[in-house]
Amino acid sequence: MATMSANRAIPAPKEDPTTKPFWDAAREGRFLIGLCKDTGKHFWYPRGCSPFTLSNNVEMVEAKGTGTIYSFTVMRSKEPHAPAYVELDEGPRVFTNIVDCDLDTLKIGQTVKLVFKATEEGGAPVPMFTPV
């Protein structure tokens, strides 16, 4: 028996001055992640400092939008949806949702790709993932 992911109403992300460029890019269909220019390492979630050095020598760069499921759950006491961590090919593990699929078939290690999902009240779209 399959459990298709619901098209649940997604609350709009509350934008702040530091991460506005992330949401602006999302509206253009581009998925940005943090880059620490001190260490060359990518990070998630985007922020105004490096979580590795604390300096503000950071920028947001476009990610490929591909990765694998690190862990997930299927919420069944509401409309079925699947919060998950996806490990991006660039390295960071991103808290997201797995969407547009039979949630009963999900597996850790499964390959997934980015899909932006619209949010309520005309908010910026948010990055989610679906099995390849």
Partner 1 sequence: MSINGAAYVVGAFEHPTRKAEGQSVAQLHAEVAYGALQDAGLSKDDVDGFFCTAAAPGLGPINMADYMGLTKLRHVDSSDMGGCSYVMHVGHAAQAIKEGRCNVALITLAGRPRAEGMATGTVPRSWAPNIPDDPFEIPMARTVVTSYAMVAQRHMYEYGTTSEQLAWIKVAASQHAQHNPHAMLPKPVTVEDVVNSPMVADPLHRLDCCVISDGGGALIVARPEIAKSLKRPLVKVLGCAEATKNQAGGGIDLSYSAVRQSGAAAFAEAGVKPSDIQYASIYDSFTITVLMQLEDLGFCAKGQGGKFVADGNLISGVGKLPFNTDGGGLCNNHPANRGGMTKVIEAVRQLRGEAHAKVQVPGCKLALANGVGGLLGHRHGGATLIMERE
30 binds partner 1 (CB under 8 A): no
In this structure, which amino acid lies at residue 62?
E
Q: How many CA atoms lie within 13 A of 18 on its CB side?
A: 10
Q: Which residues contact 16 (CB under 8 A, 6 or more apart)?
A: none
25 binds partner 1 (CB under 8 A): no
60, 85, 100, 130: residue in contact with partner 1 (rule CB under 8 A) = 85
In this structure, which amino acid lies at residue 14?
K
- The two structure tokens encoding residue 72: 């997930």
65 binds partner 1 (CB under 8 A): no
Give the residue from 98, 96, 84, 82 showing the smallest Cα distance to 33. Answer: 96
131 binds partner 1 (CB under 8 A): no
4, 83, 102, 113: residue in contact with partner 1 (rule CB under 8 A) = 83
Check if the beta carbon of residue 60 is closer than 8 Å to that of residue 32. yes
5 binds partner 1 (CB under 8 A): no
Report the site for partner 1 in 87-126 (rule: CB under 8 A).
88, 91-97, 108, 119, 123, 126
Three-point CA angle 19, 24, 28, nearest 5°? 145
15 binds partner 1 (CB under 8 A): yes
Q: Return residues touching partner 1 (CB under 8 A).
A: 8, 10-16, 18-19, 23, 33-34, 36, 41-47, 50-52, 70-78, 81, 83-85, 88, 91-97, 108, 119, 123, 126, 128
